[in-house]
Amino acid sequence: MTQVLQRASEPFTSHLFTVAEFERMFFAGIFPTDTRAELLEGKMVILTPQNPPHKYALANYVDILPDVYGKRNVQMPQMPLDVHLEHYQPEPDLAILKPPKEQYKNRKNQAEDVLWLIEVSDATLETDRTVKLPIYAACGIPEYWIHDVSTGQLEVYTDPNKELKYPDCQFTFRL
Residue 157 included in any domain: yes
Residue 23 included in any domain: no
Residue 58 included in any domain: yes
107-119: pLDDT as tens digits: 999 999 999 999 9
Report pLDDT for 6.
Answer: 59
Backbone torsions φ then ψ of 123, nearest 5 degrees: -85, -10
Residue 1 included in any domain: no
Contact 139, 84 (CB under 8 A): yes
At residue 19, the 3 state secondary structure works out as helix
Nearest to 98 by CA among 107, 85, 86, 111: 111
Question: Does the pLDDT value for residue 7 go beyond 70?
Answer: no
> Percent of the chain scored above 70 by pLDDT?
85
Domain span including residue 138: 48-174
90-108: pLDDT as tens digits: 999 999 999 999 999 999 9
Question: Does the pLDDT value for residue 175 go beyond 60?
Answer: no
Range with the poorest average pLDDT among 38-42, 82-86, 154-158 = 154-158
Residue 107 included in any domain: yes
State the average pLDDT over residues 10-28.
88
Report pLDDT for 173.
Answer: 46
CATH number at residue 128: 3.90.1570.10
Cα-Cα-Cα-Cα torsion 60, 65, 68, 69, nearest 10 degrees, comes to: 170
Nearest to 137 by CA among 166, 168, 113, 108: 166
Contact 93, 76 (CB under 8 A): no
State the average pLDDT over residues 38-44.
95
Residue 28 included in any domain: no
Domains identified in the chain, total number: 1
119-171: pLDDT as tens digits: 999 889 999 999 999 999 988 999 999 999 999 899 988 877 655 455 555 44
Q: Is the pTM of this model over 0.75?
A: yes
Q: What is the rounded distance in angstroms from the CA atom of residue 110 to the CA atom of residue 98?
A: 10
Backbone torsions φ then ψ of 44, nearest 5 degrees: -80, 125
State the average pLDDT over residues 12-37.
90
49 or 113: which carries more pLDDT confidence? 113
Q: How confident is the model at residue 34 (pLDDT cuts 50, 70, 90)?
A: confident
Q: What is the rounded distance in angstroms from the CA atom of residue 135 to the CA atom of residue 146?
A: 14
